[in-house]
Chains A and B, each alone.
Chain A
Amino acid sequence: MHSRPRLTTWLYLSPLHLLLLAILTAPSVYVFWLSLNESSYGTGLTFVGLDNYRMVFSDPYFWRAAVNTFFVVNGVVYVELVVALALATQFAAGVPLRGAMFACILMPYAISEVVAVLVWKMMMDPSVGAIARTIEGMGFGMLNWSASPTIGLTLVGVINVWTHLPFTFLMLYAGLLAIDPSLYEAAQIDGATRWQRFTRITLPLLVPTILIALIFRLIFAFRMFSEVWLLTKGGPARLSEVLAVYLYQHGFRYGDFGIASATGWLMVLGSLLLASVFLFAMQRSMRGA
């Protein structure tokens, strides 16, 4: 049962839309204007047209950051999705000490990125870190993540998965709980194996949830900043920058808000592109046939 909106309806919606307008929409429109100007920390604007975009596209550091972002985002998201799915199916099937196990798996969700970086940095420190020394002791050599951008970004990915796995796990688990148990009972009576039940019932019914989790995580990983900034500061020699770090360097280090805004607007387009799939589906369901 839905009524046509009245004047009071918009009153109920106004705090929500005022916040969004003031903090998100108006600023992101203004970012587009900033990206067409040269400015110092957003003041003293001089119109330069598309010059900032031209400069960004011809900057090898931008492309380096874009490629790094691509690899980190994809690496992180798919690994995390598979592990979260395995974990969620185990929990749905029943694990020993379920409540305590669940609480433990969730814990990293409560940890600040700052703390996550700190603790992984300590454990992976080439000279004193317990994990780094174990890896070295096993004969894999020294993991010097501050000297190698590849190892550095891998560690960034590990930290990112560590903090976000609980959220993805929770989403998939919530999706699993929504599957009608009688389907499994029927399948069992028909003699379906465990694997058949997973591939024929769980997976197909979980596809919408998996897609949402995937898009959520793609968007969140795409904006990754803190892990990289706190771990490597984008170094060595700006080789481990991701797009958000590239933006931050130009905006807040060099005060060049033109370049930063152009990067920002490109990130907006990227995020919207990722999200458009989800938004399209949502719009259809909200209009609710």
Chain B
Amino acid sequence: MRSRLSLPARLARGLFLAVMLAWSVGPILFIVMSSFKRQVDIFVYPPKLVFTPTIDNYLKLTTQWKGFFDAMGNSLIVALGATVLAGVVSFLGGYAYSRYRSRLTSWTAVYMIAVRVLPPIVVTLPLFPVVDRLGLGDTHILLVLLYATFWVSLNTMIMKNFFDQIPYELDEAAYVDGASEWQLVHRILARLTLQGMAAGSIFVFVFAWNEYLFAMIFTTNRAKTAPLILSELMGAVDGTEWGVLFAGVTLQLVPVVLLVTLARRYLIAGLAAGAVKG
């Protein structure tokens, strides 16, 4: 696809890429830089790119807003829980859809994708009274179930496509050697579909780590996640606390930004398998 471009075309292309770069990274850079600025420097116009960094905001965060770190802990528990649950569920489902086929399985697969399109806010209504009666309100387990469920459909499709790439002859060879189906699945096929699991896991983890709506409706105290705390602080801070808020936001976003940028290879593989081929 490479060929020589004229000079104006190359300039236009460079400009486009530069704008996209600033658009993507600029706001994140603004947050991270502000978290190291003194209060007086944050809203100086035009914004200062060179300034004396301070970690005061982070120190204040640890002393004044201890609740934030509990919330980060909750986010971690919920995100890991949802990732593991969705991983296991879609691994098993992906295997079944890859190796077995009938009219009924194909209809259940369509149903699986169809329910995924339901807007999350719609299920909050019927779940709201039920959750309270079951004692699941404000618990980690409820968020884990909700977050995992919203990804099992796509992740099952991703896993199905990864299973599809493993030749059926391998299954047959394993059966000839006397392996049971379960041994084949969890000893042999699991190792060969790790890439698919990695891709699916990133989607779930990022979603669960950042989710706002369910957390707002279904948690009040013990299971509050970091985005929820940040949204509350955002409404509550007065003029002098912006730096502290930015410090909290920075701590919340750095782990997932690293995860996404370092694991981008898996994201492409996952989308190629789940959406493009699915």
By a beta-carbon cutoff of 8 Å, the part of chain A in contact with chain B is: 1-6, 8-10, 12-13, 15-17, 19-20, 22-28, 30-31, 34, 41-43, 83, 86-87, 90, 92-95, 101-123, 128, 130, 133-134, 162, 165-166, 170-171, 173-175, 177-178, 181, 184, 188, 194, 197, 208-209, 212-213, 216, 219, 222-223, 225-226, 230, 244, 247-248, 251-252, 257, 260-261, 264-265, 267-268, 271-272, 274-275, 278-279, 282-283, 286-288
A31 close to B217 (CB less than 8 A): no
**Chain B's interface: helix, strand, loop or mixed, by majority?**
helix
A27 close to B123 (CB less than 8 A): yes
Enumerate 13 A-B pairs (CB-CB under 8 Å) in ascending A order: A16-B92, A31-B122, A42-B126, A87-B20, A104-B21, A110-B261, A112-B209, A120-B27, A170-B267, A171-B275, A184-B1, A223-B120, A264-B121
A114 close to B16 (CB less than 8 A): no
Stretch of B54-62, B109-117, B190-198 on the interface side: B109-117
A230 close to B234 (CB less than 8 A): yes
B252 close to A209 (CB less than 8 A): no
Chain B residues positioned under 8 Å from A162 (CB to CB):
23, 27
Pick from B148, B185, B210: contact of A19, CB below 8 A. B148
Chain A residues positioned under 8 Å from B96 (CB to CB):
5, 9-10, 12-13
Q: Which of A112, A120, A223 has the most CB of B within 10 A?
A: A112
Known: A109-B206, A115-B249, A230-B234. A20 touches B24 (CB 8 A): no
Question: How distant is A229 from chain B, measured CB to nearest CB, in Å?
Answer: 8
Q: Is B141 an interface residue (CB 8 A)?
A: no
Pick from A28, A95, A105, A115: contact of B253, CB below 8 A. A115
The list of the 6 closest CB pairs from A to B, nearest first, reads A112-B210, A223-B119, A42-B129, A103-B261, A2-B101, A16-B93
A119 close to B152 (CB less than 8 A): no
By a beta-carbon cutoff of 8 Å, the part of chain B in contact with chain A is: 1-3, 5, 13, 16-17, 20-21, 23-25, 27-28, 30-31, 43, 45-47, 88-90, 92-93, 95-97, 99-129, 145-146, 148-149, 152-153, 156, 168, 181, 185, 206, 209-213, 217, 227-228, 230-231, 234, 242, 245, 249, 252-253, 256-257, 259-261, 264, 267-268, 271-272, 275-276, 278
Pick from B1, B168, B252, B275: contact of A112, CB below 8 A. B252
Query: Besides the contacts A16-B90, A283-B107, what 4 more A-B pairs have beta carbons closer than 8 Å?
Result: A13-B105, A28-B118, A118-B234, A244-B119
B118 close to A94 (CB less than 8 A): no
Chain A residues positioned under 8 Å from B234 (CB to CB):
114, 117-118, 121, 230
Known: A20-B152, A30-B126. A288 touches B1 (CB 8 A): no
In the docked arrangement, what's the CA distance between A134 and B228, Å?
A: 31
Question: How distant is A199 from chain B, measured CB to nearest CB, in Å?
Answer: 14
Pick from B5, B92, B126, B268: contact of A13, CB below 8 A. B92
A24 close to B118 (CB less than 8 A): yes
Chain A residues positioned under 8 Å from B249 (CB to CB):
115, 118-119
Q: Determine the residue in chain B with the shortest Cβ distance to A130.
A: B47
Question: How distant is A287 from chain B, measured CB to nearest CB, in Å?
Answer: 5
Q: Which of B93, B114, B128, B156 has the most CB of A within 10 A?
A: B114
Known: A104-B24, A272-B114, A282-B110. A3 touches B100 (CB 8 A): yes
Q: Determine the residue in chain B with the shortest Cβ distance to A43.
A: B129
In the docked arrangement, what's the CA distance between A197 and B1, Å?
A: 9
Chain B residues positioned under 8 Å from A188 (CB to CB):
3
Q: Which of B31, B146, B259 has the most CB of A within 10 A?
A: B31
Question: How distant is A201 from chain B, measured CB to nearest CB, in Å?
Answer: 10
Pick from A4, A109, A274: contact of B260, CB below 8 A. A109
A16 close to B212 (CB less than 8 A): no
Q: Which of B108, B127, B276 has the most CB of A within 10 A?
A: B276
Q: Determine the residue in chain A with the shortest Cβ distance to B260.
A: A110
Question: How distant is A107 from chain B, measured CB to nearest CB, in Å?
Answer: 6
